[in-house]
Amino acid sequence: MLKTSPSDDGDCVCNVQQTCGGCPLLAVSRSTELEGKVDSVREALERAGFAVPIRLDADADDAARTGYRNRLRMKVVDGRADFFNQAKRDGCPVVRPDLWAAIERLRAVSAKNPSLLWGVDHLEVRVDGLATNDTSRNPAVGLRLSHDVNSERLCEALGSAWLVANPSGTENPHLSYDVSPGVTVDVPVASFVQVNDGVNRRLVAEVLRIAAATNARSFLDVFCGAGNFAVPLAAKGLVGVGVDHAGPAIEALQAVNPTHISGVAADAYDVMHELPAADLVVVDPPRSGVREGHRLLAARAQHSVILVGCNVSSFAHDVASFCDAGLQLAGVTAFDMFPGTKHMETLAWLRQPASP
């Protein structure tokens, strides 16, 4: 694994950052990084017409800048797994050590027997997100492939901890992630999962805090995936609906708590006008933001909308669109989901005008 060296103020610096280019902010101090990221959120909101204080996740200063990434996309050349960015060949400090061990295993196995990945042009390797202090634990490893392979033969070569997701969807293996104390979400290997388990748990905690503060009893989770927010909300006793276009994710979601969660496997834009009202509406769209339907979603929120985004420009646009639909901005919290990069995960709490 690539070694890192401390900067003058004790922060971590990657030895190949300039060559790689993937984490430009690892070269500055942690305080400078966080200050700059919060400023980027503030400036985006100001351009959209909002001058509001940005609350930084209280644990951001203590968050690990390295060893946090739980998944990595790779290319495959003639059956051999390799890196899109060749600077990563000697290691990547932001990748979890257990994920790096899995990547090395995959590279060695595919180099020895390229036929195992023949026809695949890219893949993603990911590890589970079970919170544990046991550093000797071998995590389950998921492999998401661009083309079908003989998964039984591949797993036999890689080891029993490996789970393969072919794009045909004939099998939908899951990896487990602790998203809240005592709450685990099973995410299909081919479905979306946040890249930073520790920061994601704090993001979920903020959603639960708002739900408790507003005495929410029902929820609507749009772009819900396998239930990153829906499952912990249901664990708190709320009843709600999750909507996502990925069928396997919805199946996994409903299997966890069928008495409290109803899943809708559909494009959210196709069914938005049919969705029920709820005390709390959670919206966690793709990086490009909510394409349309802000008024429909705002009308379904009896009390609050929680908007989550990882692109500050589309996030600010969505905040403005929800406010144009009649909601009022109650607060913004920034979470450093991607240390070392320029990206920032941001949460906006919006309320109906009559809500306390």
* 127 shares a domain with 222: no
SS3 assignment, position 339: coil
Identify whether residues 302 and 235 lie together within a single domain. yes
Q: What is the pLDDT of residue 15?
A: 76
Band of pLDDT at residue 259, cut at 50, 70 and 90? confident
In a domain, 27, yes or no: no
Residue 40 placed within a domain:
no
Given 176, 211, 226, the domain boundary residue is 176
Among 100-104, 124-128, 147-151, 171-175, whose mean pLDDT is lowest? Answer: 171-175
Do residues 56 and 202 both lie within one domain?
A: yes
User: What confidence tier does 139 reach under pLDDT thresholds 50, 70, 90?
Assistant: very high
Summarised one tens digit per residue, pLDDT across range 198-237 is: 999 999 999 999 999 999 999 999 999 999 999 999 999 9
* Residue of 182, 176, 275, 186 whose CA lies nearest to 227: 186
| Residue 342: inside a domain | yes
Quick one: pLDDT at residue 8? 43
CATH number of domain containing 220: 3.40.50.150
Is 163 domain-assigned? yes
Q: Is the dihedral of CA 2, 99, 126, 124 positive or negative?
A: positive
Least confidently predicted of 84-93, 280-289, 305-314, 322-331 = 84-93
- Residue 35 is assigned to a structural domain of this protein: no
Least confident of 14-28, 29-43, 239-253, 334-348: 14-28
Q: Tell me the DSSP string of 179-209.
A: EETTEEEEEETTS---SBHHHHHHHHHHHHH
**Tell me, what's the pLDDT at 137?**
76
How many Cα neighbours within 13 Å face the side chain of 202?
17
User: Can you give the pLDDT at residue 134?
Assistant: 67
Say if residue 79 is in the same domain as residue 153.
yes
Q: What digits encode the pLDDT tens for the residues 47-74?
A: 999 999 999 998 887 778 899 999 999 9
Distance CA 93, CA 72 (A): 12
From the centroid of its chain, how far is CA 123?
A: 18
Stated pTM of the model: 0.94
Q: 83 and 111, same structural domain?
A: yes
The verdict on 170 and 206 lying in the same domain is no
Looking at the domain assignment, is residue 166 inside a domain?
yes
pLDDT at 2: 45
Cβ contact 166:136 at 8 Å? no
- The DSSP bridge partners found for residue 66 are none
- Whether 167 and 138 map to the same domain: the answer is yes
Computed over every residue of the chain, the mean pLDDT equals 92
Question: Domain check: are 260 and 324 in the same one?
Answer: yes
The mean pLDDT of 306-328, rounded to a whole number, is 97
Shared domain for 129 and 218, answered yes or no, is no
Residues 153 and 80 in one domain: yes
Domain boundary among 143, 176, 209: 176
Sequence letter at residue 242? G
User: What residue has token string 């100001």?
Assistant: 46
Whole-number pLDDT of residue 10: 46
pLDDT at res. 7: 46
Structural domain count, the chain: 2
Domain membership of residue 7 (yes or no) is: no
Q: What percent of the chain has pLDDT over 70?
A: 94
Confidence grade of residue 246 (pLDDT, cut at 50, 70, 90):
confident
Pair 202, 253 in one domain: yes
- 183 within a domain of the structure (yes/no): no
- Looking at the structure, do residues 210 and 342 belong to the same domain, yes or no? yes
Tokens for 109? 């196995």
Q: What is the pLDDT of residue 87?
A: 86
Assign 12 a pLDDT band (cuts: 50, 70, 90).
Answer: low
Q: Determine the structural domain holding residue 127 and report its residue range.
A: 71-176
Confidence of residue 243 (pLDDT cuts 50, 70, 90): very high
Specify the pLDDT at position 3.
Answer: 47
